Amino acid sequence: MTVLELRQTSKTYGAGPTEVPALRHVDLSVDEGELVAVMGPSGSGKSTLLTIAGSLEEPTSGEVLVCGRALSGMSRNERSRLRRRVIGYVFQDFNLLAGLTAVENVSLPVELDGTSIKAARDLGMRALDELGLADRATRFPDELSGGERQRVAIARAVVGDRQLLLADEPSGALDSNNGDAVMRLIRSACQRGVAGVVVTHDAQLASWADRVVFLRDGRIVDQTLPPAGPESLLAPSGNP
């Protein structure tokens, strides 16, 4: 099943002489269980693509469908419910709320969605536990390391039963071991059936994806081919 579909989606910021075409006629679809990485230079439109996919911004033209439903046909309320229930979003700068503890940050979206505080906390604790952060649950964001904050942000994005996980530079300035840990988490969410889109300029992170698409000046200019078997690398000849 296709979870996310962008059809001829464009986004232009500003108007007249200050107009910035950030995204131009992008077609992209991501299936259940699939992890797609988006690579491209700074300013190529990666974050723009993600905010539009996450219904945080509206496209200037084109259509965005989540689980087969067009965002343009939804009411404001429907869209915010979609953001709470269906879409998990990891922001480029984590965006944790400073006044809330780790577990409060994680359980907030579920709580806002009408689940009781107690049940939401339980879900939040479970998500943190899965990321090895159970003992950090009652700490505030500024009492966590960068890597821990990042994992809390991911816990918040996968808590409950989300179907679409959108992550903007999820490894930030983390070292490669932490970067791998973050990607392993995202991968395992996808193995449970979540569709994932990860924006990154880091090829090592992108290489965790099933498919890598390359953005340039707001356009998708290229993408990787479907994988060969792992055996191919061990063949004596090496390069094809």
Ligand X SMILES: Nc1ncnc2c1ncn2[C@@H]1O[C@H](COP(=O)(O)OP(=O)(O)OP(=O)(O)O)[C@@H](O)[C@H]1O
Angle between helix 102-112 and 76-85 (nearest 10): 140
Answer yes or no whether residue 163 interacts with Mg ion by CB under 5 A: no
**Nearest approach, Cβ of 48 to ligand X (angstroms)?**
3
Which window, 36-44, 125-133, 145-153, 231-239, contacts ligand X (CB under 6 A)? Answer: 36-44
**Nearest approach, Cβ of 51 to Mg ion (angstroms)?**
9
Answer yes or no whether residue 178 interacts with Mg ion by CB under 5 A: no
**Nearest approach, Cβ of 106 to ligand X (angstroms)?**
25
Q: Which is nearer to other proteins, 73 or 240 (CB)?
A: 240
The amino acid that residue 29 corresponds to is: S
Q: What is the DSSP letter of 139?
A: S
Which window, 7-15, 22-30, 45-53, 134-142, contacts Mg ion (CB under 5 A)? Answer: 45-53
**Nearest approach, Cβ of 172 to ligand X (angstroms)?**
11
Q: What is the DSSP letter of 238?
A: -
| Region for 142 from its dihedrals, namely left if φ exceeds 0, alpha if ψ lies in -120 to 50, beta otherwise | alpha
Task: Single out the residue of 22, 96, 103, 164 in contact with ligand X (rule: CB under 6 A).
Answer: 22
Q: Which residues of this protein are in contact with other proteins, per CB under 8 A?
A: 39, 41, 184, 187, 201-204, 206-209, 212, 214, 216, 221-225, 227-228, 230, 232-234, 236
Nearest Cα neighbor of 212 from 51, 89, 48, 28 is: 28
Cα torsion 57, 61, 66, 70: sign: positive
Among Mg ion, ligand X, other proteins, none, the one that 13 touches (CB under a kind-dependent 5 to 8 A) is ligand X
Backbone angles phi, psi at 12, to 5 degrees: -120, 125
Task: Give the Cα separation of 146 and 94 in Å (integer).
Answer: 9
**Nearest approach, Cβ of 49 to ligand X (angstroms)?**
7
Answer yes or no whether residue 200 interacts with ligand X by CB under 6 A: no
Spatial CB neighbours of 174, under 8 Å, sequence gap ≥ 6: 146, 147, 150, 182
Among Mg ion, other proteins, ligand X, none, the one that 127 touches (CB under a kind-dependent 5 to 8 A) is none
Cα torsion 115, 169, 165, 47: sign: positive
Answer yes or no whether residue 172 interacts with ligand X by CB under 6 A: no
Using CB under 6 A, which residues numbered 39 to 78 contact ligand X? 40, 42-48
Q: Which is nearer to other proteins, 99 or 227 (CB)?
A: 227
Which window, 35-43, 123-131, 140-148, 204-212, contacts ligand X (CB under 6 A)? Answer: 35-43
The shares of helix, strand and coil residues in the chain, as percent rounded to the nearest 5, are 40, 25, 35
- Helix or strand holding residue 211 (H, E): strand 211-216
| Contact residues: Mg ion, CB under 5 A | 47
